[in-house]
Copies of this chain bind each other. A is one copy, B any other.
Amino acid sequence: MRVISIIPVTGLPIIQHGDDIGLLICEAAAKQGTPIEDGDIIVVTHVIVSRAEGNIINLDSVSPSEFAKTVAEVLGKDPALVEVILRESRSIVRMGDGHIISETKHGFICANAGVDKSNVPGERNVAPLPKDPDLSARIIRQRIREVSGKDVAVIISDTHGRPLRNGEINVAVGVAGIKPIRDRRGEKDLFGYTLKVKQTAIADELCSAAELVIGQADEGIPVAIIRGYPYERAEDATARDLIRPREKDLFI
């Protein structure tokens, strides 16, 4: 019987611009008695990645466009925040009911283009998604390998609302060292039936699993280790594999 553990990484410092997240994760994991092991999957929330990369925007430094001001007034939002959301977007899916749903430059469709206010120090500061979340994941993975000698997978997670279902779940926006989708077509089930449609978005499932320990606002746990899940390694992995172009979507 193979039990999977979801281990919160506690004791991390408040991550700041220039911090070495890979190193800090190794140190914190060791200190709490769960040093990094080969095959661990490290799930990191995007906000600390943006903070470490200096990708934090002070809304007072942003000069909103005329369009941003109009939208802000209609939606009852901060004009500077709307401007940041527009700059992070390549198209708008819907505006209404106080929300902006847009497609980010990476291709993710989510509220506010993934720009987060929570867990960002400074009252007027917001954190957009990392510019290249796959690259961010690769850098953290590489540093963990250098520091600990262990081969791990790294996933950058974000909290997304989703169509058709209430509530948000955590999904993957960047991956390194792990194939984000497990293609099980051709495998046989319990009764010998060959699976015809089965491609499991395991990177998203791993982020949702990690959220069970990460999602405690007061504790501020931004990283989880998932241990005991045998995943398919991939050096050229990208979270873009998880994005389905709208024109190919049968659900909507």
Contact = CB atoms under 8 A, between A and B. Distances in A.
A70 interface: no
Contacts of A169: 200-201, 204-205, 208
Contacts of A251: 93-94, 101, 109, 161-164, 252
Interface string A200-218: 1110111011011101011
A87 interface: no
A210 B16 CA distance: 34
Contacts of A123: 193
Given A119-B191, A184-B217, A215-B200, A166 B208 contact: no
A118 B244 contact: no
Contacts of A117: 193, 196
Nearest to A199: B167
A58 interface: no
Nearest to A112: B197
Contacts of A72: none
A32 interface: yes
Interface in A1-23: 1-8, 10, 14
Given A10-B1, A163-B249, A168 B208 contact: no
A121 interface: yes
A131 interface: no
B4 A213 contact: yes
Interface string A84-100: 00000000011011010
Nearest to A225: B3
Contact of A208 (B109, B204, B249): B204
Contacts of A96: 250
Given A101-B251, A163-B252, A4 B212 contact: yes
A244 B188 contact: no
B252 A188 contact: no
A34 to B, nearest CB: 8
Given A1-B33, A168-B201, A189-B218, 10 more contacts: A1-B34, A118-B193, A122-B191, A164-B243, A166-B243, A167-B202, A188-B218, A205-B208, A205-B212, A208-B208
Interface of A: 1-8, 10, 14, 32-34, 93-94, 96-97, 99, 101, 109, 111, 117-123, 159, 161-171, 180-182, 184, 187-191, 193, 195-202, 204-206, 208-209, 211-213, 215, 217-218, 220, 226, 229, 241-244, 246, 249-252
